[in-house]
Amino acid sequence: MKGLFVILSCWLVGNCLSIVIDGYLSGNIIGMLLLFILLCSGIVNGETVRKPAKFLLGTMALFFVPFGVGLIESYEVIMDNIVAIVVATIVSTFGVIVAVGWVFQLLNRKSND
Amino acid sequence: MIETIIKSDLFLLTITIGIFLLSGYLFRKTKMMLLHPVLLTAVAVIVFLKIADIEYSHYKESVAFLDFALGMSVVALGYLMYEHVERLKRATLPVIGATIAGCVVGIGLVVGIAMIFGIERDIITSIAPKSVTVPIAIAISEPRGGVVAVTSVVVFCTGVLGSICGARLLHISGVKDPMAQGFALGAASHGIGTARAIELGAVEGAMSGLAMALTGFGTAVLLPLVEKYIY
């Protein structure tokens, strides 16, 4: 219960800050950063939020099902741009995997030397 | 009477969760990516809505609770980052370098290719955050006029693609460091890639989760700038 309150509070404060910075970042993303800071600084004990956080992270896939169902209305938009979307998705996914893998490996080797 | 029940919020929410649990069971039995619970549930719900003649807008309102929970799960990612803070401290330079590389390459390639094809601005916004976990991708695309259904589908497909081809691709390109492998999977294909990374090992899984949270945050910071100045 307390953990849920902490998560909701971070989100709420995040929403306020989001308005201040003119929506540059959405409230829940700021909330994520706030929760991270609260936990690292020891203001909030990790044990307090562990249960609700684990539940939310573990059930996340269910939460975005309604957006997938949204295909019912937007499949035409996808079909109109299908080639571009498929090419962009494949190229960038492979690009990110290779680029991130290389950069991480290279820097990790250097910092271990 | 049946129609009242079928159209009620309680029924639609319950049946969505029920189908999801059933799909999860099928997925664990078969291990086939095409039977991923999200995909299967979405298709089953679409079929159900068509048969029962229920509007998508009505369905979306009925299951607004899931939407709210999705917003909360973004905040919960802060806990995920905290859980891996020790790893972050031990490998600060590679983690930061790889996060920046992942965000820049990811956004750059998608936006670049989309611009070459000349697709509409709204669609570019919808697919630009495609390597990021769904809740963050939606938090980025929705307020900027993206089509969230397109975002969630493209993000989902990216996850599946990365988790199927990722390990092999890393092997071919000579990435042997387990930490680098995990980080790359999480950076490119978020939660679905992380599920795959956990199968590779504990280190890979942890790095993948960390990558998912960090690249999500990095993309959220970088994308508004790209949107403003580039496309």
Residue B124 has a pLDDT of 94
Give residue for tokens 């979405």.
B42
Per-window interface: A 34-93 vs B, CB < 8 A: 34-36, 39-40, 46, 49-50, 52-54, 56-57, 59-74, 77-78, 81, 83-85, 87-93
CA distance A101 to chain B (A): 5
A69 and B113 within 8 Å at the Cβ level: the answer is no
CB B114 within 8 A of CB B124: yes
pLDDT in tens, B93-136: 999 999 999 999 999 999 999 999 999 999 999 999 998 998 99
Half-sphere CA count of A110, side-chain side, radius 13 A:
11
B179 and A34 within 8 Å at the Cβ level: the answer is no
What is the Cα–Cα distance from A78 to A12, expressed in whole angstroms? 34
Q: What is the mean pLDDT of residues B59-86?
A: 92
Interface probe for B, chosen from A97, A98, A108, A112 (most Cβ of B below 10 Å), is: A97
For the cut 80, the answer to whether the pLDDT of residue A111 exceeds it is: no
Greater pLDDT, B3 or A19: A19
For the cut 90, the answer to whether the pLDDT of residue B34 exceeds it is: no
What is the Cα–Cα distance from A59 to A112, expressed in whole angstroms? 37
Of A105, A90, A80, A79, nearest to B109 by C-alpha is A90
A111 and B94 within 8 Å at the Cβ level: the answer is yes
Q: Looking at the partner chain, which of B67, B73, B175 has a beta carbon nearest the beta carbon of A101?
A: B175
DSSP 8-state class, residue B50: H
CB B135 within 8 A of CB B71: yes
Q: What is the mean pLDDT of residues A10-26?
A: 94
Residue B195 has a pLDDT of 84
DSSP 8-state class, residue A58: H
What is the Cα–Cα distance from B33 to B177, expressed in whole angstroms? 26
For the cut 90, the answer to whether the pLDDT of residue B20 exceeds it is: yes
pLDDT tier for residue A100 given thresholds of 50, 70 and 90 = very high
Enter the tokens of residue B55. 């509007």
pLDDT tier for residue A18 given thresholds of 50, 70 and 90 = very high
pTM of the model: 0.89
Enter the tokens of residue B68. 């709210």
What is the Cα–Cα distance from B19 to A30, expressed in whole angstroms? 33
DSSP 8-state class, residue B201: -
DSSP 8-state class, residue B89: H
DSSP 8-state class, residue B34: G
Give residue for tokens 């000349």.
B118
Q: How many pairs of residues across A and B have Cβ atoms under 8 Å apart?
A: 303
Neighbours of A17 (CB within 10 A): 16
B180 and A69 within 8 Å at the Cβ level: the answer is no
Residue B177 has a pLDDT of 94
B97, amino acid identity:
G
Residue B113 has a pLDDT of 95
What is the Cα–Cα distance from A32 to B177, expressed in whole angstroms? 29
- Averaged confidence pLDDT in chain A: 92
A100 and B180 within 8 Å at the Cβ level: the answer is yes
pLDDT in tens, B160-210: 899 889 999 999 999 999 999 999 999 999 988 888 898 898 899 999 999
pLDDT in tens, A24-76: 999 999 999 999 999 999 999 999 999 999 999 888 889 888 988 988 888 88
Residue B89 has a pLDDT of 87
What is the Cα–Cα distance from B194 to B206, expressed in whole angstroms? 8
A100 and B184 within 8 Å at the Cβ level: the answer is yes
Query: What is the share, in percent, of chain B residues with pLDDT greater than 70?
Result: 100
Residue B215 has a pLDDT of 95
Enter the tokens of residue A45. 């004990």
Q: Looking at the partner chain, which of A49, A60, A94 has a beta carbon nearest the beta carbon of B169?
A: A94
Give the start-end residues of each E strand in B33-127.
Answer: none
What is the Cα–Cα distance from B222 to B78, expressed in whole angstroms? 19
* Predicted complex ipTM: 0.91
Provide DSSP, B132-187: S-HHHHHHHHGGGT--HHHHHHHHHHHHHHHHHHHHHHHHHTT---HHHHHHHHHH
DSSP 8-state class, residue B36: -
CA distance B121 to chain A (A): 12
What is the Cα–Cα distance from B32 to A52, expressed in whole angstroms? 30
Greater pLDDT, A112 or B88: B88
